[in-house]
Amino acid sequence: MPKMTLKCKKCDKTFTRPGPFAWHMQSIHGAKKKKKAKAKKANWRGKKRTMKKGGRPKGAAGRLGLKTMNLEQLMQLIDAARYEARSRLAEIEASIG
């Protein structure tokens, strides 16, 4: 009497161990025992910072003002990043020689 064999009903392939058999069923025949529905939540937690600068026209360019605000913030961010990069580079250069 041979060892315990697991036979695939779909392609008559035999397996001696349940592990490869399960793998075969899943990978070859696409059989899935467990259904896992992964719900990816697009949870973007962006911190909103509203920087208000004086001297901005209000009222008429309400929506436009908000847009320029964001752009301004972006530019400020870029400037800040550039400044930081520059200072870090200076630090590195100073440490090197």
Q: Which is nearer to Zn ion, 11 or 92 (CB)?
A: 11
- Outline where the chain has alpha helix (H): 18-27, 62-96
Task: Map the footprint of Zn ion across residues 8-47, applying CB under 5 A.
Answer: 8, 10-11, 13
Q: In angstroms, give the least distance from the CB of 35 to Zn ion.
A: 20
Q: Which residue's CB comes closest to Zn ion? A: 8
Q: What is the C-alpha separation between 27 and 22, in angstroms, rounded?
A: 8
Helices (H), 11-61: 18-27
Q: Which stretch binds Zn ion (CB under 5 A): 5-13, 40-48, 58-66, 70-78?
A: 5-13
Give whichever of 10 and 67 is closer to Zn ion, judged by the CB atom: 10
- Per the CB < 8 A criterion, the answer to whether 5 and 15 are in contact is yes
- Are the C-beta atoms of residues 28 and 11 closer than 8 Å to each other? yes
Instruction: Give the shortest CB-40-to-Zn ion separation in angstroms.
Output: 32
Phi, psi of 6 (to 5 degrees): -105, 120
Shortest distance (Å) from residue 5 CB to Zn ion? 13
Q: Which residues of this chain interact with Zn ion, rule CB under 5 A? A: 8, 10-11, 13
